[in-house]
Every structure is written in structure tokens, then in C-alpha cells.
Structure 1
Amino acid sequence: MSERLIRSDAGGVCTLTLNRPEKLNALDTAAFEALDAQLAALEADDSIGCVVLRGAGRGFCAGADLNDIGDASGRPSRFKSDVIARLARLEKPVIAAVHGVCFTGGLELALACDFILADATAKFADTHGKWGLVASWGMSQRLPRRIGLPAAKRMMMTARVVEAAEAEELGLVDLLAGAGGLDALVAGFAAELLANSAFTNAANKRLLIETEGLPLAEGLAHEQDRHPGRAPDWRERIDRFRRG
């Protein structure tokens, strides 16, 4: 069995590459076990300020491995959805770098990331209905929050393929590169994230997660009650600005 997930670190960026290109990176239990292990390591790794999730070969991810449906290898029934939730909660900015197909379970994986960057080859779809399946990894909750309820209904109830340009118009894709330009786009965006305080990025992400859906007054109160203070290097950052 090939290594399902390859990790490489450089300059504060951790790149996790889904590595099953002969199956368009279809997600089986082994892939989730590998992702869960890497997320556990990243939660305790202060040297990493940004995570990039991408796919090897011709596409990002074709979705769940249909031959693996119902097989959790002794894991709890919610294991796979819990791993995706763990990805969503990771207190570091996470970028999904999408080329080629990003279908169904692969789309649910991308939606758990903070940002979706893509190139012109990217194609998105929710094909659960094609197979008589119902999403359980977050599609019904994360997709409408990202693109709105009517657009989410269209995708979920037709299984139609959304091309890259339309995905950008819908707000599914944050930034879109031309064919061959994804690496440069991801590198530039990751550099913008890393230029800011990792402490602040983590705090912002945590507050956004904790207050999603709250009325404004409750959200403001939560922000004050859960305010984490300043980053350890805040004086250094301001002094650097003053020195010009």
C-alpha cells in the first residue's frame, strides 16, 4: 500500500499531499488514519504557521473510495467525519489547493479548510445523490454556509459539475489561477498568512468558530470574554514598524 499522505515542511508551511493518484486520491480509511495522525502532530507543532492540503497526480480528490464504504476497520462510525471536523478546528490557517476534480468527499474535505485556492482545471461536484448516499462529512452544513442555500441545493440535488470560473463566482473558490499557476498562487497567499502573527491567526480562527451563528450581542460578549490578549512578539512587531 502506498503512503496515503505525504508531508513536507518548508519555511513555516506544511504541505500535506493526498497520495493515491491512481485512484484520483479517493479517500479510504487508511487516508483518514494518515490525516488524523498528521493533524495530531500539527496541533502541537509551533514551527508551522500555515497548512496546504493538495492532491497528487491529475486531481485533488475524487471523493470517498466507493469500495471502502461502510468499512471503518474497527473505527467508530463517526471516525471519518470527526477527522474532517478536526481539520476544520486546526488552529492554523489551512489552504485547499485544488486542481482537477474535487468531488463529493473531496469537496467536503476542501470545505473544512479555511481557504480554497484553485486553478482553471478545477471541477467541483457533490455526487452523493448519484450513488444514493447522503453526506455525513459536513456537506449539508459547510456548503450552504459558503455559497448560500439556493446554490448549495443546486449542487447537492443535481450532482452537476461546477467548473472553476463558476466556482469562483459562487464564492466556493477564494482565489483562482490560470492553468499551471496554482503553485505560485498558493505560495504567495501562504506568504501573506505567514507575515502575520500566528498567535493572531489562531485566535481569529478560534473566535470565528466559537461565535458562528450567534446574535451580534452574544458574539461581541464572547469576543470580550474569550479575548486571548496580545501575541508574545507584539512589542517587537510594533517596534519594527516604528523603525520603518
Structure 2
Amino acid sequence: MSAALVRVVSPEGPVAQVWLNRPDKKNALTLEMLDDLVAAGRALAKQPGLRAIVLAGEGGDFCSGLDTGVLESLAGDLDRVKGDMLTPADPSGANRFQLPATIWQTLPVPVIAALEGVCFGGGAQIALGADFRIAHPDALISIMEGKWGLIPDMGISQSLPRLLSADRAMELILTARVLRSTEAQQLGLITRLSDAPVEEALRFAEALAGRSPEAIRAGKRLVETIYSGNAITELRLEAELQAALIGTPNQIEAVSAAAEGRMPRYC
């Protein structure tokens, strides 16, 4: 795992911290970062002394989403990208792009995302994959994939149904609207607001770590079970829909128009 892009503090617990560490790019995601997040989650799952995890971003931003350079590189190898989308990388049914968001739900301990600055696209989906989200009142959140002519496909089927009604979820997916965290809390995407979200998340994690570890793990398992759908079917649907969209003329036009600052001309 690359220490430069994903930094893990106190992996042995009781409270581990996982930091996205690309602050000069607002922690924009690269493929290596996605893989490193999965590696971090899998390593933490093996720590017997772990009681809680805090996810955060260095430099005052959680994550601005997938790096535009990665989008450009993926466009040059669409067959491989679609193959990765349609190939599960884990027994849960999640593919390479979904696992960085879904892996946190598979861990037996609570995961708390501390949100500052921007939390867009893939970054928002990673945050939604946590059990709790504590956000600065001025943080900005968007399920932004629609801006690029795509759908959110990083485990959104596992997170949004627990948090939003269908009409509100659809509105955010279709419009790619940017929300201030105060509105996001009113909708149900944010657990609580704090002027110091990282410090608040650590205090919350430490409080949870002081509870009976068996009760905490059982409580998380209970909620996961009563809110679960058919994850393998739902994650597969995300992948199939995205694979059918990526690289189409209208999807390419969406990216071109956004890059050129003009209205798209769809066929």
C-alpha cells in the first residue's frame, strides 16, 4: 500500500485513522488510491484490537472525486475498464471501483467519515459507505457523476436506500446538485455537523471504543442485516448500467462540454 496516497494512523487500534493524502489535488482519486483504500480496509479487518475507524482527507478537503486525468486515461482503454466493472473483485460482489466505498460496511467496527471542504463524486460515495458522517457546516457534497454523463457506481445501491427516500435519491443522482452540508444533514446524508469534524469524529470513535466491543460489533451487524438488500444483484446492476454508458457519444459530449465550459449538445 502506498503511504504517500493513503495514510493509516494507529492501525492496531483502538481507534484507527485512514487519511486520503493528496491535498494538492483536493484528494482527487487515482486508481492507486482506490486500491490502497481497499488494502487499508482489508488490513484493518485483521486487527483484533480495533474498535473504530475515522476516515478523513488531508489539507481541508475530504475528496474532490475521481481525478480528471484518470477519466482521460480510462477513455483510452474502455474494454479493460468495462471488464473491471463487470468482474467482481470480492465475494461481496463488489468490483474494483465499488470496493473502496463498500469495504467499510464489511468491517465489524463502526466507521466514521469526517468531511471538510469538498466531498464530490467518488469521494461522496466513499463517505456514504461509512457508518456515520460528521461534516463541517460549510462542507460541499455532490453525487456528481451525472455531470459527466454517468451514474454513481461505487456502491451507491448499498448506501442511499438506507438514507434517502427514492425521489430525493433520484433527484441528487440526476441533477448532480452540490449541497451544503447543512442541507445534506436535513435530507439525511449527514449524521451531525461540527466546526471541527475530524476532532469530533475522533471523540465519537473514542466513545464507541469505550463500549463493550462485542456489543458494538453486534449492533453494527444487526443494522447491516435489517437494512440489507441483495448486494450482489444491486452492485451488478450498477456495473452493468455504467458499462453501457461509458464511452457512448452522449457521455463523451458531457465530458467535453464540461471541460470547455459550454452547454452540451446531445444526440
**TM-score, scaled to structure 2:** 0.73
- Distance of 1:128 and 1:40 partners within structure 2: 27
State the shift of 1:149 in Å: 1.7
- For 2:167, what is the secondary structure of its paired residue? helix
Q: Does 1:5 align with 2:22?
A: no
**Pairing partner for 2:61 from 45, 59, 62:** 59
| Number of positions where the alignment pairs a residue of Structure 1 with one of Structure 2 | 212
Partner of residue 232, structure 2: none
Greater shift in the superposed pair: 31-40 or 141-150: 141-150
**More contact order relative to length (CA 8 Å, sep ≥ 6):** 2
- Distance of 2:18 and 2:228 partners within structure 1: 30
Deviation above 6 Å: which 4+ runs of structure 1? none
**Pairing partner for 2:139 from 117, 122, 131:** 122
Q: Does 1:156 align with 2:158?
A: no
- What residue identity is the alignment partner of 1:113? A
Aligned-pair Cα RMSD in Å: 2.3
- For 1:79, what is the secondary structure of its paired residue? coil
- What residue identity is the alignment partner of 2:28? A
Partner of residue 218, structure 2: 203
Q: Per-residue CA shift, 1:75-131, capped at 9, x if unaligned?
A: 943212133222221111000000011111111101110000111221111111111
Counterpart contact for 1:144–1:151, Cα < 8 Å: no
- Distance of 2:141 and 2:35 partners within structure 1: 24
Q: Per-residue CA shift, 1:59-89, capped at 9, x if unaligned?
A: 100112232233779x943212133222221
Matches within 5 A, 1:60-99: 60-69=62-71, 70=74, 76-77=84-85, 78-99=95-116
Q: Does 1:134 align with 2:148?
A: no
- Distance of 2:160 and 2:228 partners within structure 1: 15
Counterpart contact for 1:2–1:20, Cα < 8 Å: no
Partner of residue 51, structure 2: 49
Q: Does 1:189 align with 2:204?
A: yes
Name which one, 1 or 2, has greater alpha-carbon Rg: 1
**Pairing partner for 1:104 from 121, 125, 139:** 121
Counterpart contact for 2:105–2:129, Cα < 8 Å: yes
- Distance of 1:60 and 1:166 partners within structure 2: 18
Matches within 5 A, 1:202-221: 202-212=217-227
Q: Per-residue CA shift, 1:177-219, capped at 9, x if unaligned?
A: 12xx2233112211221121222211222232233258xxxxx
- For 1:57, what is the secondary structure of its paired residue? helix
Change (3 A) 1:183 1:136: closer
- List runs of 5+ in structure 2 lacking aligned partners: 86-94, 230-267
Counterpart contact for 2:113–2:201, Cα < 8 Å: no
- Distance of 2:138 and 2:58 partners within structure 1: 14
- List runs of 5+ in structure 1 lacking aligned partners: 215-244
